[in-house]
A and B are shown apart, each in its own frame.
Chain A
C-alpha cells in the first residue's frame, strides 16, 4: 500500500476511531445514560406497539377468516371446476369443499325445513366447530366433522323435531344418526337472521340422499386458506377467471362489532407510542445539550490540536449513529420482550399458531430511534463544530448550545413519518402535531410570564424558597426550557390519561356483563305475551319485543334497484336481499339521527323511512329520496326522512330500515328480541323452543365472548403502552434536572462553603424544582384540557367527562414528581464534599 494512501486512510479513519473510543468510555462513565435510556424507551414503546398492532391486525384477519371458515372462498351455483382445487394445492393452499341447500328433515311424523351443509374433510379451514350433547347444553370445540352416515343438528332443530342425540332422521332418500348437537359454526355469523336451522353432514353422503339434481338450488363453495401472499396471488388469478354465478369473498370486511373497538385501540396505541417518541425526543434534546456543553472544552482542545470542523462533526455524528444503533437495538429487544407480554394478553384471541412477528416493527423502531437522535441530538452536537479553539485559553469566550428550535423541523418530519407508518388517521396525526406546536409556543410564553411574575415573591418567602425562586428567575432561559420540557411531557401524559379513562370506560360499557347473548326470532304477534310470561316464570325480566316485516327494496327515486347497477360487492348483495323492516315511535336506544329528522309522535301513519347511514352510503341514498319497498307483494312508497347511526357493537336488536308505527300494521309481522341468559339458565331455551316450536333461538354468546375478550385485551394493551409513555415522561424530568447539574454542583458547594447546612441546600433545590413543576403542571393541565376535549370529540368519538381531580392531580403530581426528580437528580451534588465540587471546576 503506498505510504500516502495509508496516511490518508489513517486521517480518514481518525475521527471514527476517536468517536468510537469516546462513545465507549462515555457510555461506561454514564455520560450518555439519559440520552440512551430515553431512546431505548422510545424505541421500545414503538416496537412493542408495532409488534402488537401487527398481531392485532393478524388476529383481526384471522377473526374475519373465521367468519368465512377460510381466508378466501369461491362460491358458485354450479360445481366448482376441479382445476381450481388442483391449482390451489400447487400454490400451497389448503382447501375444503362445502355444498349447501335447503331440505325437509323428517323424524317420525314431524317435519322441519333445514339448511343443509355438507362438508369435506378439513372444514372449517379457519375457526372451529363447537358441539354439545344436548340442545343449548355446554359446548366444546372439535376438529372433527360428521362421519359418513351421521349428522349434527342445531339445538332448535332437535327441539322442533322432538329428537335426542343417538336417534335417527330422514333426509331425502337416506337415513342418518344424530351424533352431536351443533352449537357453533364459525362461518354462520354474517347470515345470523336469514337461515333455517342447520344440518351438518359429510359431503360423501349427499349422493345417497338423491336431493341434489342438476337443476337444484345449491351453493357450492371452495374454501381456501394459506399464507397471505399465496392467498393474494391466487385471488388475483381467480378474479380474472370468474364465471357467471361465481363470486369471491375475502376477509376484507371484518366483523363491524370488533372493527370499531380495534380501530380506536390502534389509534390510541399509535398516539401513545408517538407520544413516547416525542417525550423521549425532548429528553434526548436536553441530554444532548448538556453533553455538548460538557464537551465544549474538549472540542476546543481538539480544534487547537489541528482538528478541522469536519473532523469534529464526524466524531459526533459517528457517536450519534452508533448510539442510535445500539439504543435502537436495545429498544427493539425491550419492545420484543414487551410484545411477548402483549402476545400473552392477546393469546386468547386466536386459535392455532400465529406466524412469527414480521421484521417491520424492528425496522420502524430502528429508523425512529435514529430519527429521534438525528432530529433532537444532532443539532446541539453539530454546533460543537463552531467552537472557537481560543476557548482553550479563555473559557469566558463561552459556548452556547444550539437553541431547541433547531430540532423542531426534524422532529415534526419524524413525527409525521411515524404517524403515517403507524396508520394514524391523518386528521389525528396532524392535530397532534399542530397541538404539540401550539402547546410549545403557549408553554414558552406562559413560562416566561410566570418566571417574570415570580420575582416579586422573593422578598416574602424564607431563605430556601428565596434561593429556589432566585434560581428560577436567574436562569430565565433554562427555566423556561425546563418548564417547556416538563410541561410538554406532562401535557401528553395528561391528554393520554384523560382520554384513556373515558376510552376504557366506554369500551367496558359496550359489553356489560348483562349484554344480550341470545336472540329470539320469529315470535308470532299472538305469542308475544306468552313468551314474556314464559321467561318471567324463570325469574327473567320480560324483554321488549320489536316487530319485523320482511321487504325488498325495489326502487330508489323511480330507478329499479338491481345488483347490476352497483360495482361494490356489498351493494350488489344488499340490492338482492330482503330487509327486516321495523317500526317505532321513539328513536331506539343506541341510534342517533345524523341527518334529517325523526318523525314526531302525533303524526298519522304516513310511509316514511329512516335508513342506517352505512346502508344509505352503500346504496347511494339521501334524505328526501323516494323509496319503494315490496312487502308481501305490495309496494310501500315513502321518502327517506332521516339517516341514523347505529351502534352495531351494542348486541341489541338493530334495524337497517325503520318506519313510523301504523304503516305496516296490516302485514304479517314476527317479533324479535334479545336477552341475556347466564350460563346457569341456558336450559330455559330448551323449554322455550318446546313450548313455542316456531320460535328461532340464536345463540350469540360465543361471538359476544369473543368481542368482549378482544376489547379486554385491547384495554390491557392500552394500559401497558401507557406505562411506556409514563416512563418516557420520567426520563424527561430526569434529563431536565441533569441539564443544570454541573452548575448546581458549584452553587451547592459555594453555599455549603459559606456555612449553609445540607438540609438548607436540599430545601433550596427542592423548592426550585417544586416551583418549576407547579408552573409546568399548571400550563400543561390547561393545554391538556383543551387538547383532550378536541381529540375526544373529533377523533375518538367520545363524550369526554373531565375529572377536575385529574387536573389538580396533574398540577400537584407535576410539582411533587419534579421536586422528587430534582432531589434524586442532584443527590450527587448534596453528597459531594464542597471542596471536591469546587476543585472539580
Chain B
C-alpha cells in the first residue's frame, strides 16, 4: 500500500464540528496554515437543508444521513466487564453526526453554562461535606480550570453562537428574570431570551408557588436576526418544530455551518478536506512528538498529512479511539484504576413526567430551538446536599421542542400500546399534554470506561471502541429524589392526569436518551488521572491537543454543548497565547 504525502501545514484539525470549526477559525485567523479533515461529506445548509424537505420526521429523526453511518464504524456496548460487548448495530440512545459541521448540525440548541461549582466538584464537595461524600468507586474530579478562568471563553462562544437568554448574575449582581444560581457573567447574552409559551407559563406559575425561580433557559436558536463575532449573519428561528435531530432551513440554529464556516472558508490559509477518515496520529521515533495524521480518503487512498500541531476535535468516542489506535497515552485499566485514556466515561441522567389537562389545549407542534422555562434551584451546590445520599443535581425544565407526530404523542399511563384504545388516547391527548423534565448530572466511576474491542472491527479493519457502562446507584438515587421534587411541581399545576417515566434499572442502547457522551480523554491537573492538561494539551505529546466532550471528567447537569464550544475557544486561545511562544513545550 502506498501512502500519499500531502504538503506540510502548521496545524491539522481532525473533525469539523463545534470544536474543529472554532479551532480552525482561530488558528487560521492567527495566520497558521490549517487543514481540517472530516470523515463526513461536505454540506452547504443553503442547498442541502431547504423548506419543505427539512420538515420530514422520518428522514431526519429515523433514517437520517446526517447521523453516523454505522455500516462503516460503530461502537460495541456492554453493561459490565462480565458481559461480551456487542456492536451497536443501529442508532438509538444517542446520535453522533457525520458530515461537515458534525453532530451540532442536528443539536437541539440547549446552551447553558456549567455552574462554578461544577468545575471544582470534588474539592468543594469534600471540603463542605467530607471525604465520604462521594461513592467509593466514583472517579469524578476537578477540571483543572475554574469558572473564573473560562468565563471569557463562555462569553466568546455565546457571541459566536448567538445564544439568547437573560443574565441572572452580572458581575455578582443578581438580575431579575435570569437564573440566580448561575456564575457571574461579564456581560449580558448577545440575544434576548425566548418568549414564554403557554406551557412555560403553567410551569413558571407552579414553580414560583413552591419558591423556586423560573427563567427562560438559554438557547442557540436565534431569537432575532443576529450577526456574530465572525461577522456571519443568522436568521430568526420560526419555531416550526422539526428542530432537534433535524437540520435547519433558516440559518437560525447556531452550528458550525451557520456560525463559523462562512467566515472560515474565506481564510486564505485554510483548507477543508471532507470524506477523510483519520485512522492514526503519527509520532516520531521518540514518541514524544506528533508528526501528523494518516487518513483514508474518499477513493480509499491512504494519505499522510504532516503538521506541527495536531488537534483531535472529534466526538468523545473518536477522540478516545484515535489515541488508543495510535498507542498514545496509557490506556485505562479498570482492574487497577491506572491509566488515563478511556477513563471517566459518563453520560447524562434524564427523567420526565407527562402532564395531561382535560381543560387546556396547547399547540404542541409550535416550538423548537429549545424554547423552555427552567429552574436551577435543585442543581449544583445551590441547596445543602448533606444527607441527600447522592452526588449531583439537575435542572428542571418544561420545553416545547415541537411535537412531531411519529415520536411525540404521549398517552396516559395504562393506555394499551396499540389498537383502538391507543388510537383514541393519541387523538385525545396530543393537544393536552406538557412535559416536565429532569436534566441531570452523571458522575464517573471506576467501572465505566472506553477501550478497544477485542472482536469487532470497522470497515478499515481496525478495532471498534468498546463502551462499558451502566447506571450507577448514585444516579438512580438522584433521579428518585428529583422525581419526588417534580411531582410536587406537577401537583401544583392541578392536572387531570400525570405519569412519570420509570427509572431504568439498566442502561440500554435502545431508546433515544441524549447525544451527551462524555469523557475518555479527561482534562485535569494531574497526569495520573487525566489525559490532557488544563489547556487540552496531551500530557505525553506537547504538540497534540485533544479537545471536546472527551475532556469532561464527568458530566454536569446542564447539557454539554456550550461547554464543549467554550473549551474550543479556551484551547485555541491557549495555543495562540502560550503554546506558539514556546512550541513543543508543555504549557503547565
A and B interact:
no
